[in-house]
Structure 1
């Protein structure tokens, strides 16, 4: 809907204009009034009318001076003068100021309606032409930034020919929004930030071109707060200085180079592009770092099963800090490896805990889905913490059961001493309970006897040694707690239907 400003110092004529014309029927959404040119100029600055009807003779500031100053600020506004027969000299001055039309006093409502209808047709036509021109300009700017197949100099020449301006008069600042995959910002975003006059869509990145009349860093801070409030987890990065179109592809390249580091940004805090480029991420982790991650995966899983939230999250932070040294693909891969390890060790075989899967999902997504889709590491971490908290809550509830603590102690004892001679009497002595009571509690809690659990644990370790080392069978037997290699081979074959050497060869 269009907006109209009515300016006249005669209250009767002003009220007639406002109240006797059916503005809504004509397609006018808002009607504003002013009693003189100065007041009208202030109203126009704030309300941005599309059409202005103004008297000529007025106190404080007359209609001619008002129109002159308004035209300097707004080339598109349509100005219609209301005048008497004895003011034709003023009308000639008005048309030199690009007045759209004039209406002689006393006027009829029909006169106003006729002029408005004609102006609205003109405005519609201008909007169509303007939209076409803006679309063409946007396409050229897109190509200047993105299309390496076309010479930038040619495209820049086309743009300034269309704009009818000199290249030196066109300057802009840049803000990059990381994480937006193929979608331009919403209309509400542009209403909130009118400083943005162009945007360029790239892969998981939008470059916003800003007017140089604003401070880029301040706008970036406001954008980060706005996006966070609207639950848009995007990294906001600003580039210092004013730039020319000739720099477009260099700018694009610098923002693309910073994409890995931008993945680790705090959504609430914008970053300088130059600072981000100094924090280049590794293409792969060192062997020592990979070993640490392997140990931490086991440690985090162990702390979960013991219900120790403090140690669990301390180890998790250590794990994430190592992962953050690498590029996002390495980070995501190691998050998935941690999730799979915990899932395999604690969740899949535990029917009761597996029922908690819906609560383990973050915003309806698994950790694997989050890792694949997240815009930044904070989203993944948030989902991972929710997943771990569900598991911790379940194990903490078990810790309140004294019998469960006995089962966990027996399992831990076997894990730490399986390569040594072990007896139920030894374990019971450590706990301070009778051997028969320990046997009973363990069988009730785990569904297995201690003897069978120990045998399964040792044979599982033996399989890993046979697969991953070239140690002799006798050495493997000794490493998992069997002094008699013949006995080891016998129980191994009974369990797997193959001798250790046959199993190693995959027969």
Structure 2
């Protein structure tokens, strides 16, 4: 919801404007009202409204003076002039000051709705520019300059408290916060949003009522953060991990990260699982997997535990224990959810894997006629690398054993499955960086990376440059140190 400030020296006009418009329908709410220019400027500083409706002629500070001072404070605030026919000459003059538009008294609801629609688009464009700039700051190594710019952006949005929260939502849709909360939203991946939030009361910051959370949201994670860039980035990762706990505990839940709470029960269950594996006791292993589905046991587990459970059982089922079956491991939370959709489904799949292992013969005697299948697999990867694909999902599609397919990649191509897929994706990323104006986030999404920060880290590791540095490496301006943007560019 965007904030509106109403300014007019006639109280009846203020009441009429506030009561006569369906603000919520257009995504706005009236955050404050002022009957003179001095009070209006004070509220602009306190409330940081997105839109100001102001009369053009008022005693003391006139509407024109107020517009100039508001634009000096924050050029991104959208201003709509309200006036009578007699002041139309002043209205025309105000257009030179960068106002969005004007509406004449008596008010026309349709006219104001159109102006609010225009204002909403302008505010959204400003937010997208700010979001893009913040992501660029996160991409680079933290410097004094980037830290200063980052803190300036927080201050401009009213986030001045030393203790903040980072909220991450998984799924499509935007979260709504309490009206007292101040926040900056960032698109941090495909169907994933991050929010830097300042709110006096954590319990009231975000409604935990599932019916008020957008239908497309699957999970929400919250982590505390200090007011600096490194802390915000670390908390973004923590909140993301917590948001993925919906895979264990169900969708639309809110999960809060508590650094000081360690769950011994989860640790004990993992040790028991590993003991069953070291003893090669299939019956005990299946029993321990069943125990993890008991409600009080499941409550202790996280998405990271689910990944670990999958991978250690996969190792147990591997036919070649002389080398770690890394290709069969799942390190991506997205892949885990794409393959199984729920913790219960994953456990049932692992139990079936153990049963099948007991029945099957060793793959050492398997025919090497799968080489023809490998060509089909390569073709499939080259055509579908944008999707959430893994060696498990491809094995299902081609009716191959994941362990054998992993060995086949290494033997025939001298690379692992993951190395091949990563090479294909990064080559496409390089091409898009060079030939398009797509944002880094859009490119990450197009080549199959749902996590913006993971893509940045992987690109740096393989290319020794950030995506932005790679895109600009032949441009002279790429060697210049970024300076703080002008107020009109900061958003």
| TM-score, structure 1 as length reference | 0.39
Which structure has the larger Rg? 1
Q: Which has the higher helix share?
A: 1
| TM-score, structure 2 as length reference | 0.40
Work out which structure has the larger RCO, using CA pairs closer than 8 Å and 6 or more positions apart in sequence. Answer: 2
